[in-house]
């Protein structure tokens, strides 16, 4: 198992112990175990248990992805008696509020809904929500870190994206410093400049073959290896 993910799982385990009552521990751990191969879902689980909405000490029973666009997923976290809606992207995870309540207008626009009612129509009852697939075949065509689909450009900052200059991991290699001719990145504008340089060079898009091969190295998300257990 990848070191980073192992650490994240340990961290979540710890939060879970503080977050829920003893009788709910088993439930919470079970759901966590379903997603131990999926960094994106683990980040969501960690966010939930770190900041329990309304400090309600409820374990997660089910996770469902309501809709997804351009690497931004709308997830429903179903707990014992409440359910919540979260926006999950590579940069951040944001709690929007309880599921099936009004959502911010920007979000409606982003997912191309004309009104709250139109959006609500696409929000099935909690019991009908399809559980998010465990880190298996279905997710192979989605980047495990940033969530873009096969053939799409990763979201900038994604740990799976490969560097077009050195073919290493873009988030880890030193090419950004070399290309910008700086020692370290200090502001947003440098990132924007780098993003332009990157586009000019030609970004390496996510392909599902990459997911299957990825990464077998110690610093990555060892998806292939994890599937065996």
Q: State which H helix or E strand residue 225 sits in.
A: helix 223-227
40 counts as binding Zn ion under rule CB under 5 A: no
74 counts as binding Zn ion under rule CB under 5 A: no
- Where in the chain does DSSP place strands (E)? 60-69, 72-79, 83-88, 93-98
Considering only 29-37, 55-63, 107-115, 175-183, which stretch makes contact with Zn ion by CB under 5 A?
175-183
Instruction: Kindly state the smallest distance separating residue 181's Cβ from Zn ion, in Å.
Output: 15
Q: Choose among 107, 48, 51: nearest CA to 79.
A: 48
Size of the site for Zn ion (CB under 5 A): 12
173 counts as binding Zn ion under rule CB under 5 A: yes
Instruction: Kindly state the smallest distance separating residue 66's Cβ from Zn ion, in Å.
Output: 20
CA–CA separation, 215 and 71 (whole Å): 20
**Residues 159 and 169 sit within 8 Å (Cβ to Cβ):** yes
176 counts as binding Zn ion under rule CB under 5 A: no
Q: Choose among 122, 165, 148, 166: nearest CA to 210.
A: 148
198 counts as binding Zn ion under rule CB under 5 A: no
**Residues 175 and 163 sit within 8 Å (Cβ to Cβ):** yes
User: Between 138 and 167, how does the x/- string for binding to Zn ion read (CB under 5 A)?
Assistant: -----x-xx-------x---x-x--x-xx-
User: Which residues sit at the interface with Zn ion, rule CB under 5 A?
Assistant: 143, 145-146, 154, 158, 160, 163, 165-166, 168, 173, 175
């Amino acid at each position: 198992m990848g070191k980073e993910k192992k650490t994240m799982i340990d961290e979540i385990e710890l939060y879970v112990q503080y977050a829920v009552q003893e009788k709910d521990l088993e439930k919470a751990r079970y759901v966590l175990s379903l997603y131990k191969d999926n960094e994106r879902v683990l980040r969501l689980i960690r966010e939930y248990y770190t900041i329990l909405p309304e400090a309600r000490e409820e374990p997660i029973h089910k996770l469902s992805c309501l809709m997804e666009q351009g690497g931004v997923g709308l997830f429903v976290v179903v707990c014992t008696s409440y359910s919540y809606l979260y926006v999950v992207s590579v940069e951040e995870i944001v709690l929007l509020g309880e599921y099936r309540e009004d959502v911010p207008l920007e979000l409606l626009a982003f997912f191309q809904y004309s009104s709250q009612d139109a959006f609500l129509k696409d929000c099935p009852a909690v019991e009908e929500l399809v559980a998010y697939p465990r880190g298996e075949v279905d997710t192979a065509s989605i980047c495990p870190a940033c969530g873009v689909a096969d053939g799409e450009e990763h979201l900038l900052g994604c740990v799976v994206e490969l560097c077009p200059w050195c073919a290493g991991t873009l988030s880890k290699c030193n090419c950004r410093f070399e290309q910008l001719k700086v020692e370290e990145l200090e502001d947003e504008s440098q990132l924007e400049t780098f993003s332009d340089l990157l586009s000019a060079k030609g970004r390496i898009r996510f392909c599902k073959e990459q997911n299957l091969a990825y990464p077998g190295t110690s610093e990555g998300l060892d998806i292939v290896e994890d599937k065996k257990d």
